């Protein structure tokens, strides 16, 4: 398969310059990946053969591209990317989006200025965002990413898992009478979120008149009726519609915790960056478009070269949650094995894992350098970072990329005088592909561009593979099964369960 020599390909100036791309605050270098000029031409041709431009237009104009759920996919409308004047439907949806956005902005400004107080008459000093999956990962990732450049106006905590340790951590040292709770849930039915919500309501009741505790709650949801039914006031409910998938919902009021934490201007800058990222993905020719080229490169390594796994290594701790965020975005979107028409395919899906560098170097990088499996790597570096550590981070990322690409031969080791018996252990094959994504800085605009970049790459990959990147039926069965098992545990009745399930649940019941 590896008819590529990266050492050779990297010496070809013409090829390398063709594999460098720029989009706003992002630069992308694909020169260390396993593509030659012939592959490049074929891949670009694939964009036309798969009607990628037309399919993107279909998405942006509200066609039912989420075929299994018969829904449009309009998260890009949230950041105003699309020319919404093209249909009455889009005009109306944009009006709705703007209205909810404005409602959220006014609310957040009133919290910051003290016009909105807690029911105890205190200024809001902390916010707990309860949510999971797309209602947590995006906001929590961005909140951390921006933390070195922006100051908090209020303390923000994220609560997603139902483990009591998480609850204790999220509420630790907070004053329940000065805390506001954002319940972020598209469906408002998610088990974990509702369990945490009930726990938090009890915690809020300490020191407060329980009749008013629910006034401390804010809901972000597309199921307003359920939030109202729970007792959340209509003026505290911010909506988005079901044409925005959970993992694509950051630009909706789901991102409210970012606005509460850093102010509405920062949130709007994030949206501005996302809008720019969207327009980059649609502009220019295919040969020079970073988003298209990155999607094609991922397609090539996965489908043509058969590399199913990918590592994402941000060389900044500020992007510590980025791999987890990307895992949902990429794996929930592209982890499918049938096409739109239901035909089985085994060519799609990418398993993603990652950890900030340099930490990753001291844990799993050994596998990437010498295991029999080849795992392409995305190195994400920040150009304008903290000067004290920036050199070290950048240099380490590039050194790793070079070590993967060039490796070290037995001949070189021999010349260095390495003992014969150690040579096989120290040989590094090289030819291991990686990309470098260089971000100008950790500003809200740049982070917005990065998010939109990956979101659009996912949409393009969905089109190239002919799969629905917007449903997640696989998650549903597990939800159903856990609901049944909870009933069995509550009733302490394990009849009708298979032997393995009975064994572990019995052990749990014995221990409790
Ligand atoms: O279980 C997966 C999932 O449905 C994700 O797609 C979604 O982001 C998450 O659960 C949370 O869902 P909700 O926002 O409806 O609570």
The answer to whether 186 touches 238, Cβ cutoff 8 Å, is no
306 and 359 co-located in one domain: yes
Pick the atom of ligand 1 nearest to 187's CA: 15
Query: Measured between alpha carbons, how far is 250 from 252 in angstroms, rounded to an integer?
Result: 5
Range in 326-335, 389-398, 435-444, 454-463 with the lowest mean pLDDT: 389-398
Mean pLDDT of the chain: 95
Instruction: Please report whether residue 33 resides in a domain.
Output: yes
Instruction: Please report whether residue 11 resides in a domain.
Output: no
pLDDT tens figures, 4-54: 899 999 999 999 999 999 999 999 999 999 999 899 999 999 999 999 999
| pLDDT band at 81; cut points 50, 70, 90 | low
135 CA distance to ligand 1 centroid (A)? 7
Task: Please confirm, yes or no, whether 479 is among the known catalytic residues.
Answer: yes
The arithmetic mean of pLDDT across residues 339-364, rounded, is 95
Domain that holds residue 164: 78-268
310 CA distance to ligand 1 centroid (A)? 24
Pick the atom of ligand 1 nearest to 134's CA: 8
What is 392-460 written as a DSSP string? HHHHHHHHHHHHHHH-B-HHHHHHTT--GGGHHHH-B-----EEEEEES-S-HHHHHHHHHHHHHHHHH
45 and 188 co-located in one domain: no
CATH code (residue 311): 3.40.50.10490
Burial of 256 (0-12, 13-18, 19+ CB in 10 A): buried
Tokens matching residue 303: 């489908």
Instruction: Please report whether residue 351 resides in a domain.
Output: yes
Task: Please confirm, yes or no, whether 69 is among the known catalytic residues.
Answer: no
Instruction: Please report whether residue 17 resides in a domain.
Output: no
Q: Which of 187, 188, 254, 468 for mutating ligand 1's site (highest number of atoms within 8 Å of CB)? A: 187
82 and 67 co-located in one domain: no
Instruction: Please report whether residue 3 resides in a domain.
Output: no
Last residue in a domain, options 218, 249, 268: 268
The catalytically annotated residue of 93, 192, 269, 332 is 332
Q: What is the pLDDT of residue 13?
A: 93
289 and 342 co-located in one domain: yes
Last residue in a domain, options 208, 240, 268: 268
39 and 182 co-located in one domain: no
pLDDT tens figures, 300-328: 999 999 999 999 999 999 999 999 999 99
Confidence check: pLDDT of 385 > 80: no
Task: Please confirm, yes or no, whether 362 is among the known catalytic residues.
Answer: yes
Any idea what DSSP says for residue 329?
I
CA nearest ligand 1 atom 1, residue: 475
pLDDT tens figures, 186-240: 999 999 999 999 999 999 998 778 888 999 999 999 999 999 999 999 999 999 9
354 and 300 co-located in one domain: yes
The catalytically annotated residue of 362, 391, 416, 476 is 362
351 and 235 co-located in one domain: no
227 and 201 co-located in one domain: yes
pLDDT tens figures, 101-157: 999 999 999 999 999 999 999 999 999 999 999 999 999 999 999 999 999 999 999
Any idea what DSSP says for residue 497?
S
412 and 495 co-located in one domain: no
388 CA distance to ligand 1 centroid (A)? 39
111 and 125 co-located in one domain: yes
304 and 443 co-located in one domain: yes
285 and 427 co-located in one domain: yes
Instruction: Please report whether residue 9 resides in a domain.
Output: no
Name the domain count of the chain: 3
pLDDT tens figures, 443-464: 999 999 999 999 999 999 999 9
Instruction: Please report whether residue 42 resides in a domain.
Output: yes
192 CA distance to ligand 1 centroid (A)? 10
Last residue in a domain, options 235, 268, 301: 268
Instruction: Please report whether residue 399 resides in a domain.
Output: yes
Q: What is the pLDDT of residue 464?
A: 98
């Amino acid at each position: 398969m590896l008819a590529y020599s990266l050492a050779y390909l990297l010496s070809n100036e013409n090829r390398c310059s063709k594999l460098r791309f720029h989009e706003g605050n992002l630069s992308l270098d694909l020169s260390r990946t396993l593509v030659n000029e012939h592959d490049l031409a074929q891949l670009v041709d694939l964009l036309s053969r798969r009607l990628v431009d037309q399919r993107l237009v279909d998405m942006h104009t509200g066609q039912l591209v989420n075929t299994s759920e018969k829904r449009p996919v309009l998260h890009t409308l949230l950041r105003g990317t699309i020319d919404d004047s093209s249909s009455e439907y889009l005009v109306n949806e944009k009006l709705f989006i703007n209205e909810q956005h404005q409602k959220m902005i006014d609310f957040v400004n009133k919290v910051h200025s003290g016009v909105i107080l807690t029911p105890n008459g205190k200024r809001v000093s902390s916010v707990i965002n309860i949510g999971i999956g797309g209602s947590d990962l995006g906001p929590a990732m961005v909140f951390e990413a921006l933390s070195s450049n922006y100051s908090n106006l209020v303390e923000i905590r994220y609560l997603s898992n139902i483990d009591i340790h998480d609850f204790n951590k999220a509420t630790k040292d907070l004053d329940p009478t000065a805390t506001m709770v954002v319940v972020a849930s598209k469906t408002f039915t998610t088990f974990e979120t509702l369990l945490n919500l009930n726990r938090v309501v009890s915690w809020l009741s300490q020191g407060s008149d329980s009749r008013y505790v629910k006034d401390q709650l804010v809901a972000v949801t597309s199921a307003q009726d359920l939030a109202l039914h729970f007792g959340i006031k209509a003026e505290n409910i911010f909506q988005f519609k079901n044409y925005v998938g959970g993992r694509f919902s950051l630009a909706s009021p789901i991102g409210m915790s970012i606005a509460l934490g850093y102010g509405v201007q920062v949130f709007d800058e994030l949206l501005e960056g996302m809008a720019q990222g969207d327009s980059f993905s649609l502009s220019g020719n295919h040969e020079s478009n970073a988003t298209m080229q990155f999607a094609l490169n991922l397609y090539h390594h996965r489908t043509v070269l058969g590399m199913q796994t990918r590592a994402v290594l941000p060389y900044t701790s500020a992007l510590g949650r980025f791999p987890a965020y990307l895992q949902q975005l990429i794996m929930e979107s592209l982890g499918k094995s049938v096409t739109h028409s239901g035909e089985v395919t085994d060519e799609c899906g990418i398993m993603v894992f990652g950890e900030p560098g340099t930490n990753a170097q001291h844990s799993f990088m050994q596998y990437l350098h010498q295991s029999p499996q080849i795992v392409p790597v995305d190195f994400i570096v920040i150009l304008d970072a903290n000067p004290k550590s920036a050199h070290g981070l950048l240099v380490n990322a590039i050194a790793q990329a070079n070590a993967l690409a060039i490796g070290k031969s037995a001949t070189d080791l021999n010349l260095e005088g390495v003992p014969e018996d150690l040579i096989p252990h120290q040989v590094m094959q090289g030819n291991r592909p990686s990309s470098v994504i260089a971000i100008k800085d950790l500003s809200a605009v740049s982070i917005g561009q990065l998010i939109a970049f990956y979101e659009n790459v996912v949409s393009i990959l969905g089109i190239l593979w002919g799969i629905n990147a917007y449903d997640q039926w696989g998650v549903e069965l597990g939800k159903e099964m856990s609901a049944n098992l909870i009933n069995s545990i509550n009733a302490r009745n394990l009849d009708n369960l298979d032997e393995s399930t009975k064994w572990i649940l019995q052990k749990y019941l014995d221990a409790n």
